[in-house]
Amino acid sequence: MDTAEEVVMSFDEAIELASRDERFMATIYAMNTLLIHKGIYTQKEFERLFVEWVKKEQRAKHPGSGASSEVALASDRR
């Protein structure tokens, strides 16, 4: 139920108000929230995969930056 402080907004209104980047972020937020609440995965699993992806992207941006990042990534998988 909406309180007097909340603004009632339809999905279409939200789409019109949000920028392209905000729509993308809202989509990711909504999808992840649903998946966590439905028990598809946990917040901890999401965070682990997020960190794994960022590490992989960092290695791609900075190839040959050292084996320490490889060791750290491998230890995360355990």
Instruction: Please write the tens of the pLDDT for every residue from 29-74.
Output: 999 999 999 999 999 999 999 999 999 999 999 988 755 555 555 5
Q: What per-residue string of b and e applies to 34-57 under the rule 16 or more CB within 10 Å gives b?
A: eeeeeeeeeeeeeeeeeeeeeeee
Per-residue pLDDT at 77 exceeds 70 = no
| Residues in CB range of 17: below 8 A, 6 or more apart | 9
Question: pTM of this prediction?
Answer: 0.61
Query: What is the separation of C-alpha 6 from the centre of its chain, rounded to a whole number of angstroms?
Result: 25
Radius of gyration of the chain (CA): 18
What pLDDT, on a 0 to 100 scale, did the predictor assign at position 40? 96
What pLDDT, on a 0 to 100 scale, did the predictor assign at position 30? 97
Higher pLDDT, 76 or 47: 47
